[in-house]
Amino acid sequence: MRQFIFLIVLTSVIALNAQIVSSDIDYWIDAGNYKRASELLLEQPKLYSNPVLLDKLGESYAYQEEWDKAIDIYKRLTSLIMDNPSYFFKYGGVLAKKAQNSNPFVGLTLIGRIKSNFKKTLIIDPLHTGAYWALIDFYVSLPGIVGGSYDKAYELATQLKQISTLDGYLALAYVYEYNDEPANAKTNYLEALSLVKDSEKFERNQLNYQLGKVCSDYGLQLDSGIEYMTTYIENHSIKDGVPLEWAYYRMALLYRKKGNKKNSLLWINRALEEKKGFKRALEEKQRILALKD
């Protein structure tokens, strides 16, 4: 009986320690200290057989921009769990980030794996909005000689519209914009803007940036645009895709179009602090300085 009680106590202590460790990991992730979170995760004895912990480790590496380590984790995860769309989506995402931050030759070697993981995401989950957007961006960003295709991007955007009308209009506008069709881009952007209700909250933070961008580009609903962009900045993470300097740049545009020179300068300087030599921001600063006080 004493041995049985001891075993119960020992099991409870082990379980409690596991909860404390898990709580510690989540604490450091929430605090943005991904280095400490990854250190704790690597101490877990069953890390490589626990998909939840592996996913946290992969995300921690991604936040630290350690792309090779994140790629290894998601390669392992997609082999371990073959029906989880999130793992394939994240695998494609970290591969894409490595491609963006490597020399062109390395980027070219990753193209096939990036595309196949996003496609696999949609096979598992045909309603995965993020995977649609990722593939659309993939097709419009690449030259045709290495897999780019406006036709495929347009087809995906049309399919996305059946799932989410708002995303669909934004995606179609995005494709038209890349394909140098400004009239069609504007038509679809305005359709998207007309669908949004006042103070609407979005599950995906990217939508705040995209709607704020529409307002800044076309000088429409400027106060709403500032609200969208403020929300994007306040909730920004690496998952959102668009870097903060672009959000700051868009805020500067919105305030300039409102005639608010002081706030416009504040935001454009933040953009230039975030990214030295940011050409678009430097050009915008000259326009802001030309405003009357």
pLDDT in tens, 256-279: 999 999 999 999 999 999 999 999
pTM for this one?
0.84
The average confidence (pLDDT) of the chain is 88
Res 235: pLDDT: 93
**Fold (topology level) of 32-104:** 1.25.40
In the chain, the percentage of residues whose pLDDT exceeds 90 is: 67
Neighbours of 143 (CB within 10 A): 7
- Same CATH topology for 32-104 and 215-293: the answer is yes
> How far, in Å, CA of 73 to CA of 222, rounded?
42
**Would you list the domain boundaries of the chain?**
32-104, 215-293
Q: Indicate the pLDDT class of residue 288, thresholds 50, 70 and 90.
A: very high
Name 106's Cβ contacts closer than 8 Å, sequence gap at least 6: 98, 99
Give CA–CA dist 122/7, Å, rounded: 47
- Exposed, middle or buried by CB within 10 Å (0-12, 13-18, 19+), for 218? middle
Q: What are phi and psi of 88, to 5 degrees?
A: -70, -40
pLDDT in tens, 27-65: 888 878 889 989 889 988 888 888 999 999 999 999 899
Give tens-digit pLDDT for 195-225: 998 778 898 899 999 999 999 999 999 999 9
pLDDT in tens, 112-159: 999 999 999 999 999 999 999 999 999 998 876 667 789 999 999 999
Q: What are phi and psi of 290, to 5 degrees?
A: -75, -10
> At what angle are helices 222-234 and 206-218 packed, to 10 degrees?
150
Q: Does domain 215-293 have CATH number 3.90.1010?
A: no
Confidence (pLDDT) at 154:
96
**Residue 157, token pair as written in the block:** 């955007």
